[in-house]
Chains A and B, each alone.
Chain A
Amino acid sequence: MAAPTKDTEVGVPPAAAGRFAAFTRRMPSSTLGKHALTLLVAFVVVVLVLELTGPFRNSQFATMAYYGIAAAGLTVLTGVNGQISLGHGALMAVGAYTTGLMLAAEIPLLVTMLGAMAVTAAVGAVVGVAAARLHGPYLAGATLALAVGLPGLAIYFDHWLGGEQGMRIPSPQMPAWFSDAIYFLSATEASSAKYLAYIGWVTLLVVLFLLANLMAGRTGRVWRAVRDDEVAAELAGIPLGKVRVLAFVVSAACAGIAGAVLGIVVRLAAPSGFTIVLSLGLLTAVVVGGLGSLVGALLGSALLVFLPPFVTNVGTDIGLDNTQAAQLAPFVYGAVLVLVMLLAPSGAVGVLKKLLKKLWIGRSTRRTG
């Protein structure tokens, strides 16, 4: 139709673009290469952080790992595919209880985690089929019912699932090679907190790697297309139902793995651990971090773990007693959520991206100008 109009609005000045091109030329060109390299770098960082911090921080990082896995799965469902879920806490419960039952039967840890993933994915498929027909508030309501109802099963089947008190989950034995490797690395004794933190973070990194692959490829594009305009997606030959159910299954699989990690870290699966508060916390983490971004999910879960104790400390420092200080945390958390939604709707990741872009341009213009 009209004569080709070239894009004149270039976001980055030529010098920076050139430097960026030179940088990307040195990166692997395949998706696998790029993501594997990122995975490797991230693993090195994780090892450094876990070796440089003590058992208390290690156990906080283990907690962050299972929140991160669940939040990453939720951001795929809600941010990328546009389906809200208030029931992910319940899906984590499925993973945790499955883990408890399988470990009690002395099934190896890796098989147990895969089993927890498979069982939760199957539950997710059932929920997903129902969810694919529901929209907005109806979907929120249905998944809310899941969050409220499912933990009740543990009380109903209290003979197997331990009822209100919950089910003890045997702690996995630390293998000899692990303590050897840790001694070799940092000449320290490997604590069980450290072992659990490593399990959590290696799992988290693998999950992020796989989700990043999906999001960079055809699957992610089609998820986003269905989110943005279902009629247009349908006319492009995309089966809406299948695509939505797939997103739910992938997301539930993540929640199941997260539940498995939670189970072995907390060593207990109890209904009180999987209330609606957990589901809402995950949703908050995903929104604060930046909806639809895996890095955002990670930032959000860091906030979920590190903000409350930080606020409590500040509270006691300024002279509040312990209960008052503890009450401060949820308040500050809510305030952060409201502020992010008002000031930075694209979440922490959106703010970071803007900052990085400014820095990048700033540096290169100073060089050339």
Chain B
Amino acid sequence: MSDTQPAPSVFGVADVSVRFGGLVALDAVSFAVGHGKVHGVIGPNGAGKTTLFNVCCGFVRPDAGTVLRHGRPVSPRPDELAGMGIARTLQGVGLFRGLSVVENVMVGADRHRKAGFGSTLLALPRSDRDERALRERAMAALAELGADGYAARLPGSLPYPVQKRVALARALASEPDLLLLDEPASGLGHDEMTELGALIRSLTARMSVVLVEHHMDLVMSVCDKITVLDFGKVVADGTPDEVRDDPAVIDAYLGEEATHA
């Protein structure tokens, strides 16, 4: 059908399997994200979405299969991701509670630092310059999310939706070209979710996004492609329209929603 060569994906996994004891959490799962695309991963609770993210980030080593970055197999440690241009937000917020909002985001920007231990120890002008540069990066990321007014506050004193914005700003401050979002809409109201959707779309000018999410509306409106997991298996893979009408998906996911309703 298609005789054009597909563009090499920015990121993906191929035939990844993970077993926890007797439980098969992921069974030969593959997906690939195109450049500047938003890829959704959905599925009922316990389907293996977070496990899949943990494989992508090196927190869980797969029993079989590979993680692919620009078509090449990689197995990075979690602390090497940022250097590879990959940022991830955590389910929940995961902010540093003893650091102010701007300091939180400065940690996110840490891979752009230039000054070393020696210049910090002696407070050389080089260290001050570096700190100013990191702070500017952090403030720019906060401003993009409309959270720069909270820069000096501690995260614990802020409403939950604002904390989630700060966590997103921290991920953006590293200037990744791939962003992994684990349930970014949890705990958000309807309007905030609409804004989040618009934001994610606007990010595609700079980066590709993988989105694990529970809210079908958001996923359907934001993603270019969607992978549906059920009991660790890919049951559907395609555009939102293709996935929406897939009987297997209605069985696995929408069926569950119906029983929850």
Q: Which residues of A contact B (CB under 8 A)?
A: 1-7, 30-32, 35, 210, 213-214, 216-219, 221-222, 224-225, 227-229, 231-240, 246
Contact = CB atoms under 8 A, between A and B. Distances in A.
Contacts of A221: 99, 103, 106-107
Contact of B117 (A5, A237, A246): A246
A1 B165 contact: yes
A6 B115 CA distance: 32
Interface string B112-146: 01010100111111011011001000000001011
A231 B170 contact: no
Nearest to B97: A228
B19 to A, nearest CB: 23
Contact of A1 (B103, B117, B122, B192): B192
Nearest to B189: A2
A7 B146 CA distance: 12
A238 B146 contact: no
Q: Which of B94, B115, B134, B153 has the most CB of A within 10 A?
A: B94
Given A229-B96, A235-B87, 12 more contacts: A1-B199, A5-B162, A32-B124, A210-B121, A210-B122, A219-B121, A221-B99, A228-B99, A232-B94, A233-B96, A235-B82, A237-B83
A231 B128 contact: no
A216 B132 CA distance: 12
Q: Chain B interface: which size bin?
A: 35 or more
Nearest to A34: B123
Contacts of A210: 121-122
Contacts of A228: 95-99
Given A229-B95, A236-B107, A2 B131 contact: no
Contacts of A240: 79
Contact of B134 (A216, A218, A239): A218
Contact of A236 (B108, B127, B151): B108
A231 to B, nearest CB: 7
Interface string B85-104: 00110100011111100011
B219 to A, nearest CB: 18
A238 B123 contact: no
A234 B120 contact: no
B115 A218 contact: yes
A227 B98 contact: yes
Contacts of B108: 236
A32 B145 contact: no
Contact of A232 (B96, B134, B174): B96
Given A1-B199, A32-B123, A233-B107, A217 B131 contact: yes
A95 B165 CA distance: 48
A236 B115 CA distance: 17
Nearest to A2: B146
B220 interface: no
Contacts of B115: 217-218
Nearest to A5: B149
Contact of B78 (A3, A4, A213, A235): A235
B110 A218 contact: yes
Contacts of B231: none
Contacts of B170: 232, 236
Nearest to A233: B107
A222 B115 CA distance: 13
A282 B174 CA distance: 39
A237 B80 contact: yes
A317 B170 CA distance: 60
Nearest to B148: A4
A238 B79 contact: yes
B215 interface: no
Given A7-B149, A225-B107, A218 B90 contact: no
B178 interface: no
Contacts of A227: 98
B202 to A, nearest CB: 11
B156 to A, nearest CB: 11
Nearest to A36: B123
Contacts of A237: 79-83, 110-111, 174
B99 A219 contact: no
Nearest to B84: A237
B81 A235 contact: yes
Contact of B131 (A218, A229, A232, A246): A218
B150 A224 contact: no
Given A224-B99, A236-B110, A246-B117, A30 B146 contact: no
Contact of B153 (A7, A213, A222, A224): A7
A101 to B, nearest CB: 27
